[in-house]
């Protein structure tokens, strides 16, 4: 439902050109609902506890020297370059990329031939790029500087100038729909009457949930609702430019006679809540609205108008891309036999400030991301790990918090799809024990021990699919093995 609603208005062309022309994955998840750790998982195919990126800060290993020397040096673009792929990146990379203590703009992650990376977090105007290791400053002129369109235009130029004798790979990472939600001039009046949907868990009290879900005012205040609706509308307006991007890319691929040879992935690095459980905006929570992501894929051998229900994760993308592009990846036998993963991990390390937020002094220190009416979205002890099962017989989520309460939440999403009731005190203790043991296994897995519980079921046996940050991934495959 979340994915279908996302495409109801702002992404009509994307749904038509990718989803309707290929496969729509209705159960795609991120393994962590936060930008930098999630993007690091996409690049490496690893859970956060293995690549070591905990949050969006440099101290949390986001684009740190430690990350650069370790996981980044083994990310999937490195292997594409060994296959002589022409690789192109444009847009937001990792939140701390380009900072002085992160190698500055001169650092180009290995594997990329053409590099146009945003310095720092999402912006639409007044930003700097690292263009092949050189700083390029941008102002506020729409034609020259609007980042979503700049990414589009430079990708089209790359496709025109590439060597037709070699395959290519593009990863395009526009800022939309991230704050500050600056729409292009032609889209600033779009969706004037749109408001956040008032269904499911919208404005419901966070009863029997972790304390961070119990602290927002309920019902939501008028100021919080106004703030939320404005943000929701602006997010749609910024996404309209991403929809335009997809259309232009598909048209370009068709004009250079490569569309039928190219795989296109569309996805996001995390979900987003918009008033659920009275939380105005953000991510970082363990619930469906924050961990589900859109995933559309089209390409050679993929029949149109498919809906895939088997769960897939963002850690599946790297091995999938490598497999598509001809790299000999050792996949789990369950993939070859077309068997879905039985369960998977979602984990998050909370962030906070040592001092109280001036707008929320009554809540004390240790919180962050505080929005209107003193609703805080994260905290040091919003640190959790969840095991999720999703198959024909079960749809369960079990989560443990690393806090002074050792708080536990459990949901049966077959009977309670909006996760309104925490059933941890009602469920059979033997079920809790099984879920706890699964969680322990996932939290301690490394390397090959993660493999058998990692890659899932896809529209064709053999391929392990993957997701990305409100991102378009283009993998040209005109010289590699078809999956048909």
Taking CA atoms, 392 is separated from 36, 323, 389, in Å, by 32, 28, 10
Distance CA 14, CA 10 (A): 9
Q: What single DSSP character describes residue 299?
A: -
- Residue among 456, 417, 200 at smallest CA distance from 309: 456
Distance CA 82, CA 85 (A): 7
Distance CA 408, CA 464 (A): 32
Q: Are 477 and 301 in contact (CB under 8 A)?
A: no
pLDDT for 483 beyond 70? no
pLDDT digits (tens, 9 = 90+) for 395-426: 999 999 999 889 999 999 999 999 999 999 99
State how beta strands 384-390 and 344-348 pair: antiparallel
* Per-residue confidence (pLDDT) for residue 328, from 0 to 100: 63
pTM: 0.91
Binning pLDDT at 50, 70 and 90, where does residue 371 land? confident
- Adjacent-strand bridge partners of 368: 378
* Nearby residues of 424 by Cβ (< 8 Å), 6 or more positions away: 408, 409, 410, 432
pLDDT for 478 beyond 80? no
Distance CA 78, CA 120 (A): 22
Q: Where are the beta strands (DSSP E) in 127-177?
A: 128-131, 134-137, 168-173
pLDDT for 479 beyond 90? no
* Per-residue confidence (pLDDT) for residue 451, from 0 to 100: 56
pLDDT for 193 beyond 70? yes
DSSP string across 26-46: TTEE-SSSSHHHHHHHHHH--
Domains and CATH numbers, the chain: 12-483 (3.40.720.10)
Q: How many beta carbons lie within 10 A of that of residue 44, not counting itself?
A: 23
pLDDT digits (tens, 9 = 90+) for 277-320: 999 999 999 999 999 999 999 999 899 999 999 899 999 999 88
Mean pLDDT of 31-51: 96
Decide: helix, strand or coil at residue 341: coil
* Nearby residues of 427 by Cβ (< 8 Å), 6 or more positions away: 410, 412
Give helix 35-44 / helix 317-324 axis angle, nearest 10°: 30
pLDDT for 455 beyond 60? no
37 φ, ψ to 5°?
-60, -40
Distance CA 360, CA 344 (A): 36
Binning pLDDT at 50, 70 and 90, where does residue 79 land? very high
Token pair listed for 439: 């969680």
State how beta strands 114-118 and 128-131 pair: antiparallel
Distance CA 141, CA 184 (A): 11
pLDDT for 165 beyond 80? yes
DSSP string across 229-278: HHHHHHHHHHHHHHHHHHHHHHHHHHHTT-GGGEEEEEE-S---BSSBTT
- Adjacent-strand bridge partners of 475: 169, 263
Taking CA atoms, 389 is separated from 70, 342, 448, in Å, by 31, 6, 21
* Per-residue confidence (pLDDT) for residue 329, from 0 to 100: 58
Binning pLDDT at 50, 70 and 90, where does residue 475 land? low
Q: Are 264 and 24 in contact (CB under 8 A)?
A: no
Binning pLDDT at 50, 70 and 90, where does residue 356 land? confident
Distance of CA 264 to the CA centre of its chain: 16
Helix, strand, coil distribution of the chain in percent, nearest 5: 30, 20, 50
307 φ, ψ to 5°?
-115, 120
Distance CA 324, CA 261 (A): 12
CB contact burial 390-399 (16+ within 10 A = b; e otherwise) = beeeebbbbb
pLDDT digits (tens, 9 = 90+) for 210-224: 999 998 999 999 999
Distance CA 339, CA 350 (A): 34
Token pair listed for 183: 């729409």
201 φ, ψ to 5°?
-95, 15
pLDDT for 121 beyond 90? yes
Distance CA 411, CA 51 (A): 28
Q: What is the mean pLDDT of the chain?
A: 88
**Block residue for tokens 């691929």:** 253
Binning pLDDT at 50, 70 and 90, where does residue 325 land? confident
Binning pLDDT at 50, 70 and 90, where does residue 450 land? confident
Half-sphere exposure of 260 (CA within 13 A, CB side): 1
Active site positions, annotated: 35
pLDDT for 346 beyond 50? yes
């Amino acid at each position: 439902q979340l994915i279908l609603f996302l495409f109801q208005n702002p992404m009509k062309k994307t749904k038509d050109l990718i989803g309707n022309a290929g496969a729509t994955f209705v159960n795609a998840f991120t393994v962590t609902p936060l930008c930098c750790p999630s993007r690091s998982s996409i690049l490496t195919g690893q859970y956060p506890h293995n690549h070591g990126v905990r949050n969006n800060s440099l101290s949390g290993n986001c684009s740190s020297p430690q990350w650069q020397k370790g996981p980044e040096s083994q990310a999937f673009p490195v292997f594409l370059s060994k296959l002589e792929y022409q690789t192109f990146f444009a847009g937001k990379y990792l939140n701390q990329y380009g900072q002085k203590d992160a190698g500055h703009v001169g650092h180009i992650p290995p594997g990329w031939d053409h590099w146009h990376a945003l310095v720092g977090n999402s912006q639409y105007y007044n930003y700097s790029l690292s263009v092949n290791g050189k700083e390029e400053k941008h102002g506020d002129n729409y034609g020259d500087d609007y980042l979503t369109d700049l990414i589009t235009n430079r990708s089209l130029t790359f496709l025109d100038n590439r060597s037709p004798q070699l395959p290519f790979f593009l990863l395009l990472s526009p800022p939309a729909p991230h704050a500050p939600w600056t729409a292009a001039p032609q889209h600033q009046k779009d969706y004037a009457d749109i408001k956040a949907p008032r269904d499911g868990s919208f404005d419901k009290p966070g009863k029997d949930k972790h304390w961070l879900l119990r602290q927002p005012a309920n019902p939501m205040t008028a100021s919080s609702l106004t703030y939320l609706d404005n943000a929701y509308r602006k997010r749609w307006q910024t996404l309209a430019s991403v929809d335009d991007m997809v259309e232009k890319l598909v048209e370009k691929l068709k004009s250079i006679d490569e569309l039928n040879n190219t795989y296109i992935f569309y996805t996001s690095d995390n979900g987003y809540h918009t008033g659920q459980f009275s939380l105005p905006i953000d991510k970082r929570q363990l619930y469906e609205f924050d961990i589900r992501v859109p995933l559309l894929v089209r390409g050679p051998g993929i029949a149109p108008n498919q809906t895939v229900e088997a769960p897939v994760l963002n850690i599946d993308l790297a091995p999938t891309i490598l497999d598509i592009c001809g790299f000999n990846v050792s996949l789990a036998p369950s993939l070859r036999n077309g068997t879905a993963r039985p369960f998977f991990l979602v984990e998050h390390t909370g962030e906070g400030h040592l001092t109280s937020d001036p707008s929320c002094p009554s809540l004390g220190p240790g919180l962050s991301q505080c929005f209107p009416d003193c609703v805080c979205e994260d905290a040091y002890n919003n640190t959790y790990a969840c095991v999720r099962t999703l198959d024909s017989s079960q749809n369960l989520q079990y989560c443990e918090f690393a806090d002074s309460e050792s708080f536990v939440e459990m949901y049966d999403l077959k009977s309670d799809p909006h996760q309104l009731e925490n059933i941890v005190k009602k469920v059979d203790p033997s079920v809790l024990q099984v879920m706890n043991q699964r969680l322990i296994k996932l939290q301690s897995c490394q390397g090959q021990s993660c493999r058998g519980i990692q890659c899932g079921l896809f529209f064709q046996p053999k391929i392990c699919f993957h997701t990305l940050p409100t991102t378009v991934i283009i993998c040209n495959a005109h010289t590699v093995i078809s999956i048909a």
